[in-house]
């Protein structure tokens, strides 16, 4: 069994504002770049392959952590969930405006989907296809992705349905290590690995 380390990208201005990012291509903020430069991956082998979502905030994070841009594998299946009509909105304001209607949407767990957007179940399906593909390489992997992908990996590994709280840190400066079977199946090894001495505010990556 090989291993895969999932880590979320660094902070952006939209994170700081509490905006729904989704697949909007927001770069790291200046504070985010400085934060990532203080992260450490010293416990993981230097020859692990680098993968990342093609969104700028993930690519920048991987590069700042030492990934060679010429050898960085980018894959759309590592993108954040598509939040459709909600992208760019401030989550707190959105919940206040939509009230009970949004609470009903969020209560659907894996089948929650915003207008013209993607559900967590759809994200896990594309992530599972990526995992089955990279498992055939039999190489350890570091994957820079998004909060939704962290949730998707946990769902695939444990059967979590998003209807209850999970012991999973989704903020910036945290990583999660899984075993990766030859069929693409994930097995949790070490969750909630702190990458920095002080974790910055997580904001929202939705």
Name the burial class of residue 10, with classes exposed (0-12), middle (13-18) and buried (19+) by CB atoms within 10 angstroms of its CB: buried
Active-site residues, by number, are: 9, 80
C-alpha to C-alpha distance for 66 and 8, rounded to whole angstroms: 15
Mean pLDDT by 10 residues, the chain (206 residues): 95 95 97 94 79 98 96 98 94 88 84 93 98 96 97 97 90 95 97 74 41
- What are the structural domain ranges in the chain? 2-194
Angle at which helix 147-158 crosses helix 120-135, to 10 degrees, equals 70
Nearest Cα to Cα of residue 138 among 183, 189, 188: 183
Name the burial class of residue 163, with classes exposed (0-12), middle (13-18) and buried (19+) by CB atoms within 10 angstroms of its CB: exposed
Checking DSSP bridges between strand 141-145 and strand 73-74, what pairing results, if any? Answer: unpaired
C-alpha to C-alpha distance for 59 and 67, rounded to whole angstroms: 9
DSSP the chain: -EEEEEEEPPP-HHHHHTB--TTS-PPPPHHHHHHHHT---TTS-TTPEEEE-SSHHHHHHHHHTT--GGG-EE-GGGSPP--GGGTTSBHHHHHHHHTHHHHHHHTTGGG---TT---HHHHHHHHHHHHHHHHTT---EEEEE-HHHHHHHHHHHH---SSS--S---STTEEEEEEE-TTS-EEEEEEEEE-SSSPPP-----
Superfamily, domain 2-194: Phosphoglycerate mutase-like (3.40.50.1240)
Tell me the whole-structure pTM to 2 decimals. 0.92
C-alpha to C-alpha distance for 24 and 15, rounded to whole angstroms: 12
Which pLDDT belongs to residue 205? 43
C-alpha to C-alpha distance for 141 and 2, rounded to whole angstroms: 8
């Amino acid at each position: 069994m090989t291993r895969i380390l999932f880590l979320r990208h660094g902070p952006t201005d939209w994170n700081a504002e509490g905006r729904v990012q989704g697949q909007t291509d927001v770069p790291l903020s200046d504070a985010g770049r400085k934060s990532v430069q203080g992260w450490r991956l010293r416990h993981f082998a230097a020859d692990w392959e680098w993968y990342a979502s093609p969104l700028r905030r993930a690519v920048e994070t991987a590069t700042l952590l030492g990934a060679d841009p010429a050898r960085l594998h980018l894959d759309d299946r590592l993108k954040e969930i598509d939040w459709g009509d909600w992208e760019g909105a401030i989550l707190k304001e959105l919940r206040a405006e939509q009230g009970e209607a949004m609470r009903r949407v969020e209560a659907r767990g894996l089948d929650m989907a915003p207008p013209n957007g993607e559900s967590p179940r759809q994200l896990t399906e594309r992530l599972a296809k990526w995992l089955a593909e990279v498992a055939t390489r039999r190489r350890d992997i570091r994957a820079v992705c998004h909060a939704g992908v962290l949730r998707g990996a946990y769902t695939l590994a444990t059967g979590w349905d998003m209807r209850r709280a999970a012991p999973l840190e989704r903020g910036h400066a945290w990583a999660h290590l899984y075993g990766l079977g030859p069929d693409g199946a994930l097995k949790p090894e070490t969750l909630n690995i702190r990458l920095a001495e002080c974790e910055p505010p997580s904001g929202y990556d939705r």
